[in-house]
Amino acid sequence: MRRKIAAGNWKMNGLKASVDELNALKSLTLDTKCDIFICPPATLIEEMVSVSGESLIRIGGQDCHWSKSGAYTGEISAEMLANVGAQAVILGHSERRSLHQETSTIVHDKVIAAWAAGLTTIICVGETEADRDSGATLDVIAEQLGHSIPDAATADNSIIAYEPVWAIGTGRTPTFDEIADVHKFIRTHLNDRFKSANQMRILYGGSVNGSNAAEIFAIPNVDGGLVGGASLRAIDFAPIVVAASQLS
């Protein structure tokens, strides 16, 4: 059985005072049976690693560069994230793909760099609304999976996140059948390529909240969620963690 994951992506939100949310989350999620990741802005990683302490909550980054170091103004390397205690990194989020022109090949190279630094990668894929309307969803997902996930992926070094772009931050979610179809497609792709595919976790992301998490996480091949808006406050994220835990 695959252990469920509740992962929070804080995006460009959070100042030092927001670390209090992590303290609150710790006390609201004692005795949980799922894996929990929080990916705050890079400025908060070190302090949040220290606050997370012995709890089950692991801290991650939201992106990294494909190079170890060098003349890349404004960028952050995987080694730098690991150096301050991050254990994971989100790569290929749709906001990076669309706002920073990240191709699947770039995502692939970042994944390799992240593994070299010992980070677990949360690799995101997802179609736009136009892709879905034109019936191209599975083609887009196939391209992203095929070119973003390196051949050395395992259940230990990689987590896949399916996030339909049109469901991110919009309050709209696909139907349960639509989620099930794409997750099944992703599972089949993983089975065709990787030995440990059956143990690889596939998260759903896009407008997950405390009210819909339990039903979404119960869909076949959905192993938890990658959560944006509802991960910012402990009071909103805790019920999502509990939903993941109850199904673990």
Catalytic residues: 93, 163
Q: Which is nearer to ligand PGA, 53 or 171 (CB)?
A: 171
Helix H or strand E segment including 50: helix 42-52
Angle 42-52/19-28 helices, nearest 10 degrees? Answer: 40
Q: Which is nearer to ligand PGA, 81 or 194 (CB)?
A: 81
Q: Which is nearer to ligand PGA, 65 or 93 (CB)?
A: 93
Buried b (16+ CB within 10 A) or exposed e, 185-224: bbbebbeeebeebeebbbbbbbbbbbebbeebbebebbbb
| Pair 238, 136: CB distance under 8 Å | no
Q: How far apart are CA 2 and CA 5, in angstroms?
A: 9
In sequence order, the β-bridge partners of residue 89 are 61, 121
Smallest separation, CB 169 to ligand PGA (Å): 4
Considering only 91, 186, 226, 241, the residue that binds ligand PGA (CB under 6 A) is 226
> What's phi and psi for 123, nearest 5 deg?
-100, 120
> Binding pattern to ligand PGA, positions 184-213, x when CB under 6 A?
---------------------xxxx-----
Smallest separation, CB 17 to ligand PGA (Å): 21
> Binding pattern to ligand PGA, positions 132-171, x when CB under 6 A?
-------------------------------x----xx--
C-alpha distances in angstroms, 25 versus 30, 167, 174, 204, 224? 9, 25, 28, 21, 17
Residue nearest to ligand PGA (CB): 228
C-alpha distances in angstroms, 75 versus 8, 80, 192? 22, 10, 34
Q: Which is nearer to ligand PGA, 77 or 207 (CB)?
A: 207
Question: Does the footprint of ligand PGA cover residue 229 (CB under 6 A)?
Answer: yes
Smallest separation, CB 122 to ligand PGA (Å): 9
Considering only 132, 228, 243, 248, the residue that binds ligand PGA (CB under 6 A) is 228
Q: Name the site residues for ligand PGA (rule: CB under 6 A).
A: 9, 163, 168-169, 205-208, 226-230
